[in-house]
Copies of this chain bind each other. A is one copy, B any other.
Amino acid sequence: MTETSSRLLALLSLLQARRDWPGTELAERLGVSGRTIRRDIERLRGLGYPVESLTGPAGCYRLRAGTAMPPLLLDDDEAIAIAVGLRTAARTSVSGIEETAVRALVKLEQVLPAHLSRRVAALGAATIASPVAGPTVEPRHLTVIAAACRDSECLRFAYRSRDGAQTQRLVEPHSLVNLGRRWYLVAWDRQREDWRTFRLDRLERPAGAGTRFSPRQLPGRDAAAYMAQRMAEAPNRFEARLTLHAAAETIARRVPSHLGTIRPIDEQRCEYRTGDDDLGWLALRIVMLGVDFTVHGPPELAEHLRALSARLQRGAG
């Protein structure tokens, strides 16, 4: 019955490509009689996909939103758009869905035909990298590691520790965690026989080792909690304290909660605390607020802003 099944898929595909479909046109396209189309529609409804129908002249079938997600039938361009969209969603670190985006990306890339994969890679190469954004994570690394987590497959990679030393690692990956602007891997290090966290931007040539492992119990509630605890021990290099000359609500609407805290001082001012490892990024965040401000620390930030101010002054003549 591969005939009937594939026809049902083709029917779903058509119903997703356009909204309104008269029965006769569907019958023609699929090469079956109108009666069979009606039966197929009935089958789809039986499977839980709500197909509306209008009677009379200009009557048609129409796939509506139901209670469950139907299989998505994408053409090449749409698949590419989704891959690119998920990559940016995974990278932007403001939406709060980074981990899910990576999971979806792994699922998509597993079945993405090679020629589309190449096109996505080409588009990725054309994407600009902001010079103040600091080190970035390659999307490929992200999906390789996420796939290893999902499939309980050992992972091998080279790691550059904070002091610059290169080591080769073999780990049992547990989870990918997105915190602040960075990605971390929580994994059991097989050589050191202990849990470790790795920053993805310090990691090179990750590849599945080919061997499976049985998942271990991570100490702590979950990977995000574990990671947050580790992070609390090693805070950001720069912790900024400023006064903003604008109402707290105005600012709160522009700053995602994990990128710092806002406290009102009075009607026209508020206190803003935020941290980062990168001065350039920190400064840009402040500039983008678009309001007057006063820096209370750290001195490096004030220095950086003065340098930026001087550059603008010189540039503007």
| Residues of A bordering B, CB below 8 Å | 1-2, 4-6, 8-9, 12-13, 16-20, 43, 46-47, 49, 58, 63-82, 84-90, 92, 94-97, 100-101, 103-104, 107-117, 123, 126-132, 147, 150-151, 212, 242, 253-256, 280, 284, 286-295, 301-303, 305-306, 308-317
Give bound CA distance, A20 to B213, whole Å: 13
A104 touches which one: B82, B100, B129, B315 (CB < 8 A)? B82
Give bound CA distance, A3 to B291, whole Å: 62
Give bound CA distance, A85 to B253, whole Å: 21
Q: Are B78 and A107 neighbours in the complex by a CB distance under 8 Å?
A: yes
* Interface-centre pick from A75, A212, A316 (highest chain B CB count, 10 A): A316
Q: Are A72 and B108 neighbours in the complex by a CB distance under 8 Å?
A: yes
Given A71-B73, A81-B89, A312-B312, do A111 and B63 touch, yes or no (CB 8 Å)? yes
Q: Are B287 and A312 neighbours in the complex by a CB distance under 8 Å?
A: yes
Give bound CA distance, A107 to B71, whole Å: 12
Given A69-B79, A151-B19, do A317 and B290 touch, yes or no (CB 8 Å)? no
A81 touches which one: B86, B242, B287, B306 (CB < 8 A)? B86
A288 touches which one: B20, B113, B132 (CB < 8 A)? B132
Q: Are B69 and A85 neighbours in the complex by a CB distance under 8 Å?
A: no
A84 touches which one: B4, B18, B97 (CB < 8 A)? B97
Q: Are A113 and B67 neighbours in the complex by a CB distance under 8 Å?
A: yes
25 pairs, A vs B, C-beta closer than 8 Å: A2-B43, A2-B46, A4-B5, A5-B5, A5-B43, A13-B71, A16-B111, A19-B150, A63-B110, A65-B110, A65-B111, A69-B79, A69-B116, A71-B71, A74-B104, A81-B100, A82-B85, A84-B101, A85-B88, A88-B89, A284-B288, A287-B312, A294-B315, A305-B316, A306-B313
Given A88-B95, A95-B84, do A65 and B113 touch, yes or no (CB 8 Å)? yes
Inter-chain contacts of A123 with B (CB < 8 A): 95-97
Q: Are B20 and A151 neighbours in the complex by a CB distance under 8 Å?
A: yes
Give bound CA distance, A256 to B306, whole Å: 29
Give bound CA distance, A313 to B312, whole Å: 10
Q: Are A242 and B287 neighbours in the complex by a CB distance under 8 Å?
A: no
Inter-chain contacts of A302 with B (CB < 8 A): 316-317
A151 touches which one: B18, B117, B310 (CB < 8 A)? B18
Given A16-B111, A71-B9, do A314 and B292 touch, yes or no (CB 8 Å)? yes
Q: Which 5 pairs from chain A and chain B are nearest by CB?
A: A85-B85, A85-B89, A71-B71, A309-B312, A131-B290
